[in-house]
Structure 1
Amino acid sequence: MEMKINFSGRAIRYTEDEIAAVVEAMRTADPLTQGRYMREFESAFARYQGVAPGSCFTTMNGCAALEMSAQLCRFKPGDELVIPSHTFTASAYPYLKKGAVPVWADIDPLTRVVTAESIEKALTPRTRAVVVVHLYGYVADMPEIAALCRERGILCIEDAAQAIGAEVAGRKAGSFGDMAVFSFHSHKNLTTLGEGGMLYVADPQAAAIIPALRHNGHCAYPFERPDYWKPAMGNVDIPRLGDDLLMPSNYCLGEVECALGLKLLERIDTINDEKRARALRFIDGLADFPQLQFHRVESRRHNYHLLVARMTTGTGARDRFIRAMHDEKGIKCVVQYIPLDRYDFYRRLGFGTARCPEADAFFDTMVSFPFQHWMSDAELDYMLASARDVLAGMD
C-alpha cells in the first residue's frame, strides 16, 4: 500500500516572513552565536510566558536545558526524583547522570499526565525534586502540584517541551515551577530548524550563573582592566551556586535559530489554536466509536502537539487498527513513550520497578495519529474517513 499520510518528523512549514527572518540573520548576524537575536528571543519568550526578564535562556536543544536544570538541583547521594514513567527518556536521564534516584509516578488515565495525588504517593523523605511532564501538549494541574512542592520544600521542574502556549489557571505552562524546560525540536509546534530549547529559572541567583554554565564558564573579570586584552580577552571560571561548583558546558543556540524562534513566537498561538480546532473536529468525527477514547479539551490548556487515543478494547484491537490503517489505508499511526521502567536502559541501572498501572495500560493500548500542522484538510478528512471505516470493520 502506498503511504498516503506519513507520521512526519516535521511539524510545521515556515512562512515566507519566517524564511526571510532566517536569511536576514544569515546575512547580518555578527557573531553567529550569543548575539542580539539570542537576547531578543530570550526577552520575547519571557514576555510571552509572563515571567521575569532575564529568567529565560536559549539552549541548543531541550535536552541541554534538562542537563542544566539537573545541575541546578545539586543532588546529594540518595536524593530521589519523582518523575512520570510515561514520558520520553530525555525527561529522566539527565537527572540520573547527576546522581538522582528516579521514583516513577503514575498518570491519570484520561489526561495522560501526572497529578498532585500520583506525585504525592511517590514522595519520600528523600525526595529532592519533581519533574512534571506536560505530555502531548496538555498542562498538568500545576497550581495544585506547585503548592504541594512548596509545602514539602521540593524543587518543581516543568518539562514543557511539548506544551508551549498551553495554559492553566490563566498562566502558561512552564511558568509555575522553580525551573521549566522547552523544546524546539523538529516535531514541536514551534521549531527552530530541527533543534533548539529554552530553560526558565525562577531563582535570580541560579539564573545569574546560567550564561557561564551554558557557555564554557565564560564570565567577566572581577576587576577593572586598563587594557581590554589583558590578562586575556575573557575570563573563565567555574559557576558557583551556594557552596556548589557546577562544571560548565557549551549548550548555545545559534543566531539563525534564535531569529527564527523570535519570528515564530508571533504565530505560535495561531498554530496551537488551529491544531486544537482540527483535533476537536477529528475527535468529534469519531464520537460514535467509543472504543477509541481521546482526551477532548476545548480550551488552551491543550495545544494538541500530538493527537493520541487509547483503544478501550485492548492491545490486540489496537494492533489490528494500526495495521489496517497502515496496510489498507496508507496511514502511519505509531505507539509512543514506552514506560521508562520497561526499557532495558533503566532496568540495567536498577530502576526497572514501578507501580504505574495506568501508564502501562495506556501505553499498551495507545494510538498516535499523524498530526503535523501542515496536513491539508483533504488529508485530515481522509484520515478521519479511514479511521471510521477501519473501526466499523472491527465491530
Structure 2
Amino acid sequence: MNIPFNRPYLVGRELDYIAKAHANGHLSGDGAFTRQCHAWLEQHTGTQKALLTHSCTAALEMAAILLDLEPGDEVIMPSFTFVSTANAFVLRGAVPVFIDIRPDTLNMDESLVEEAITSRTRAICVVHYAGVACDMDAIVAIARKHGLKVIEDAAQGILSTYHGRALGSIGDLAALSFHETKNVISGEGGALLINDPALVERAEIIREKGTNRSKFFRGQVDKYTWVDVGSSYLPSELIAAFLAAQLERAEEITAQRLAIWDNYHEWAAPLEQAGMVRRPVIPDDCVHNAHMYYLLLRDLDSRTQFIESMKAAGIGVVFHYIPLHSAPAGQRYGRVAGTPSHTDAASERLVRLPLWIGIEPHLDYIQDTAQQALRGIAT
C-alpha cells in the first residue's frame, strides 16, 4: 500500500487548453487564457483587479514592492507560516515582526496585533491557515486606526469566505497560490489580488518588468518604456491554460474536498472526545474550502510516533511549518513580539492527513490505521 500525502487532480480539459494555447500561437504571458483566469478571479472574489503571477511568492513580492517599504520598516505577521510570507518583505529590507497564533484556528491572534505596532510598522500580513479566515474585522479596524496596509496571504484560501466575503478581497492586497498542493492548481502559479484601486496601474507596471507595456497593448500609449522598479512576474500562457480548466471546475473541486474533510472530521470526533487528538476549529463566520485536514496530537513524541506508524503502513502524513522565529533566517532578519507559545505548540503537535480527490476508497484504511496508531501511543 502506498497512499501519498498529495496527488494532483486533473479535471480533464487541461491538456486540451494547453494545445489550444499552442494553436493560438501565443505561449508567453497575458494571452487569452490569462485574461480568462483574471475574469474568473475578479468575478468570484470581487477584487478590483486580479493579476496572474508565476507563484504566490511572486504575488507577495509584488505586494511588498507596492508598499514602498524601506529598510527597517516593519510588517506584522504570524510565525506559523511558509517562508515566502516573510521573505517577500525581507527582500525589500523590511523586518518581519512575528506574533503568536490563536490556539483554536491557528491563525494570527488579532488581540496581539496592536501591541506589536511601533513607529516603523507599515503593514499587517495575515495568513488564512488551512483556508480558514483570520478575524479580518478586528485586523482591518486596527490597520485603519494606525494607517497601516493589510496584505492577505490567502495561498490556501481560494473559495473560502469570511462573513460572506471571499478571502483575498478584504485587505488592500492579497496573494493566492495554485501550487500542485493547493485545491486549484497549475503546477506552479499564483495571483495578486488588488483591492485598492489606487494600486492597480502600478501593479501592472511592476509585473511587466517596471514598464508600461500593458498600457501599450491597450493602446493607451504609443510605445512602452521603463518607468518603475519591477520584474518578470507573468506566468506563461501554458500555465494559464492549465489553470483556466481548473478554475472552471473550482466549485466542484471544493465540494469533493469538503466531502472528504467532513468524513475525516466525523471519524475524528470520538478520538477528540477521548482526549487523543484535537480537531480543526471552524468559526461560525467562516466558510472554509477543505484545503487540509489536520490533527493536533498531545505532544511532539506522540506526533513523531504517529507519523512513523502511518508511514510504516504506507500512508503519507506530514507535519507542517517550522516556526519562522526559530529558523536561522528568521532570527537574523525578524524579531518576535511577545511569547509565541501557541505557535511552538502547534508546530510540535500538528500532523496533516492525506486529502486529495480520488482518495475516497482509501479512507477506511487510513482511518483504521490512524486509530490503531493513536491507541498504541495512548497505552
Provide the TM-score with structure 1 as the length reference: 0.88
What amino acid does structure 1 have at the position aligned with 2:198? Q
CA distance in 1, matches of 2:233, 2:153: 18
State how far apart, in whole Å, the 2-side matches of 1:167 and 1:131 are: 17
Q: Of 382, 388, 393, which aligns to 2:365?
A: 382
Give aligned-pair identity as a percent: 32
Query: 1:67–1:95: 8 Å Cα contact kept in structure 2?
Result: yes
Q: How far is 1:321 from its partner? A: 1.3
Deviations 1:279-317 (A, max 9, x none): 121121122212211114498622121211111x22111
1:156 to 145, 150, 157: 150
Greater per-residue helix proportion: 2
| C-alpha separation in 1, matches of 2:177 and 2:169 | 15
Aligned residue runs from structure 1 range 1-395, under 5 A: 4-8=2-6, 10=7, 12-30=8-26, 32-52=28-48, 55-192=49-186, 194-219=187-212, 234-239=223-228, 247-290=229-272, 291-297=276-282, 301-311=287-297, 313-327=298-312, 329-349=313-333, 351=335, 355-375=339-359, 377-395=360-378
* SS of match in other structure, 1:180: strand
Partner deviation per Cα, 1:215-255 (whole Å, 9 max, x = no partner): 223326999xxxx9xxx99422222xxxxxxx110111111
Letter in 2 for 1:208: E
Q: CA deviation at 1:259?
A: 2.3
Q: What is the one-letter code of the residue matched to 1:363? A: S
SS in 1 for 2:193: strand
Where 2:72 maps in the other structure, the secondary structure is coil
C-alpha offsets along residues 150-193 of structure 1, whole Å, 9 cap, x if unaligned?
1221100000011111011111000000000011111111111x
Is the Cα contact below 8 Å between 1:104 and 1:355 reproduced in 2?
no
Give the secondary-structure state (helix, strand or coil) at the position aligned to 2:176.
Answer: strand
| Residues 283 and 296, structure 1, Cα contact 8 Å, conserved in 2 | no
Q: Which secondary structure does the structure 2 equivalent of 1:23 belong to?
A: helix
Structure 2 partner of 1:242: none
Structure 1 segments unaligned to the other structure (5+ residues) = 240-246
Q: Which residue does the alignment assign to 1:244? A: none
Deviation at 1:30, TM superposition (A): 2.5
- Which residue identity lines up with residue 173 of structure 1 in the other structure? L
Point out the more displaced range, 272-281 or 16-25: 16-25
Worse-superposed segment, 297-306 or 338-347: 297-306
Are the aligned partners of 2:71 and 2:92 in contact in 1 as well (CA < 8 Å)?
A: no
**For residue 209 of structure 1, what is the amino acid of its counterpart?**
R
Q: CA deviation at 1:15?
A: 2.3
Supply the distance in 2 between the matched residues of 1:168 and 1:254 (Cα, whole angstroms).
32
Contact 1:238-1:248 at 8 Å conserved across structures: no
In our comparison, the structure showing a higher alpha carbon Rg is: 1
Gaps of 5+ in 2: none
Compute the TM-score of the two structures, normalised by the length of structure 2. Answer: 0.91
Tell me the C-alpha RMSD between the 2 structures: 2.3
Secondary structure of 2:245 counterpart: helix
What is the CA deviation profile of residues 37-77 of structure 1, one whole-angstrom value per residue up to 9, with x for unaligned ones? 2222112211111123xx11111111111111001111234
Task: Give the Cα–Cα distance (whole angstroms) in 2 for the partners of residues 334 and 109 of structure 1.
Answer: 20
For 2:245 and 2:99, locate their aligned partners in 1 and report how far apart those are by CA, in whole Å: 37
Using the alignment, how far apart are the partners of 1:269 and 1:115 within structure 2? Answer: 30
